[in-house]
Amino acid sequence: MRCPAAFPMARSTIPRLASAAPRPNRLAMLNLLHTKTFLTVIGEGGFRAAARELKVSPSTIIEHINQLEEDLAAILIVRRRGAVETTPHGAAFVPLARAMLETAARSRTLIANAPLRIAASSNIGTYLLQPQLASFQANDPCPTDLWIGANAAVAERLATGNADVALMEWWDERPGFSAQTWRKEKLVVIVAPEHPFAKRAEIEAAELATQSLLGGETGTGTMTLLKAKLGRVSGQFKAVGGFGSTEAVKRAVRAGRGLSIVMAATVVDEVAAGQLVALPLKAIDLAKELKIITPLYLPSAAPAARFVARAMEGAGP
């Protein structure tokens, strides 16, 4: 049984959109906008004043109040002699309404101040991402939390919700995510300055089979790319793994232990210093498409979306 109204409604009460009295709607979630309108009407002392404050029409104010009363199944406001008064139900709702809006504001602040969690594969995070991240931080107040690791671990962090955006050397097109090509990074053969190939302008793919080919971190997709581009020739390579990282590979190449194939961006400093020589493969366009990945349906105002937008502005060819 419905509780009776605290007092009879006067003829000057709020015009309702429907003639029926409010009915309980226990499945409805209270609308924060309607709640704000309610508090504004009380604070401004009237509907027209509230409409001016919120920059909406008086009919919109009435609609908001009517809907709120429908959701709560109670009359909240009456109008008497040009002024508004809260009913007992309305008076009881006022502190709760304020708490709702304060909680919503705190929630927004908490989320807005949370760091943007970026996960990047080792080569990208070490050699390519830092200038991009510095540019983003110089123009966006969002704090960032960067995690660098193996490609497979980066994918796992994104899939389990422990990263908001990922940058990887490959992506397996798993559902639920949006991947874009961030940049196309050229691969080069690196040799020590004393190596017989160092004076060459380029190298034939078949010549790689005559040398020890040093491999760094597993799971970067480099060998998969070589197999796709070079076919059966790649099966003749004398691959030597276990170095674990591009840095370790570069030092091994400098020591004369063999040659390697790496992203050109990872050896810029060593080539400039004359510590390594970078050579292209003859007649073969060897490049990786580096991916930037986020969950699908990311809100456009989310920090991850802002980061991706800025990253794509400076994306390479």
Other C-beta atoms within 10 Å of 116: how many?
21
Burial of 278 (C-beta count, 10 Å sphere; 0-12/13-18/19+): middle
Within 10 angstroms of residue 37's Cβ, the number of other Cβ atoms is 26
Q: Please give the DSSP secondary-structure letter assigned to residue 128.
A: I
pLDDT of residue 16: 53
Residue 219 has pLDDT above 70, yes or no: yes
Q: What is the structure's pLDDT at 111?
A: 81
As a whole number of angstroms, the distance between CA 62 and CA 64 comes to 5
CB 128 within 8 A of CB 186: no
Instruction: Tell me if residue 116 falls in helix, strand or coil.
Output: strand
Task: Give pLDDT tens digits for 171-214.
Answer: 999 999 999 999 999 999 999 999 999 999 999 999 998 999 99
Q: What is the DSSP letter of 203?
A: B
Whether residue 315 is predicted with pLDDT greater than 80 in this model: the reply is: no
Mean pLDDT of 15-39: 72
Per-residue pLDDT reduced to its tens digit, 224-270? 888 888 888 877 888 898 898 999 999 999 999 999 999 999 999 99
The residue extents of the domains of the chain are 32-111, 116-181+291-313, 184-288
pLDDT (0 to 100) of residue 115: 93
Sign of the four-CA dihedral 218, 120, 299, 40: positive
* pLDDT of residue 54 exceeding 70: yes
Are the C-beta atoms of 155 and 166 separated by less than 8 Å? Answer: yes
pLDDT cut 70: percent of the chain above it: 90
Mean per-residue pLDDT of the chain: 89
CATH tag for 32-111 (out of 3.40.50.300, 1.10.287.3510, 1.10.10.10, 1.20.1300.10):
1.10.10.10
Distance CA 116, CA 164 (A): 7
- Output the pLDDT for position 312: 93
> pLDDT by residue (tens digit) across 127-170?
999 999 999 999 988 899 999 999 999 999 999 999 999 999 99
Average pLDDT over residues 91-117: 92
What's the CA gap between 268 and 259, in Å, rounded? 16
What phi-psi label fits residue 281: left (phi over 0), alpha (psi between -120 and 50 degrees) or beta?
Answer: beta
Looking at per-residue pLDDT, the higher value among 89 and 219 belongs to 89
Same fold, 116-181+291-313 and 184-288: yes
In CATH, the architecture of 184-288 is 3-Layer(aba) Sandwich (3.40)
By the 8 A CB rule, do 144 and 310 touch? no
Instruction: Report the pLDDT value the prediction gives residue 308, as an integer from 0 to 100.
Output: 96
Q: Which amino acid is at 265?
A: A
DSSP string spanning 5-64? Answer: PSSPPPTTSPPPSSSSPP---TTPPPPHHHHHHHHHHHHHTSHHHHHHHHTS-HHHHHHH
The DSSP bridge partners found for residue 146 are: 118
Is 5's pLDDT higher than 80?
A: no
Q: What is the pLDDT of residue 21?
A: 52
Write down the pLDDT at residue 25: 58
pTM, to two decimals: 0.72
Position with higher pLDDT, 239 vs 96: 96
What pLDDT shows up at residue 222?
87
- Please list the helix, strand and coil fractions of the chain in percent, rounded to the nearest 5, in that order: 45, 20, 35
Return the pLDDT at 314: 66
What pLDDT is stored for residue 10 in this prediction? 38
Amino acid at 3: C
Q: What pLDDT does residue 127 have?
A: 95
**Which position has the higher pLDDT, 21 or 113?**
113
Q: Which CATH number fits domain 116-181+291-313: 3.40.50.620, 3.30.465.10, 3.40.190.10, 3.60.15.10?
A: 3.40.190.10
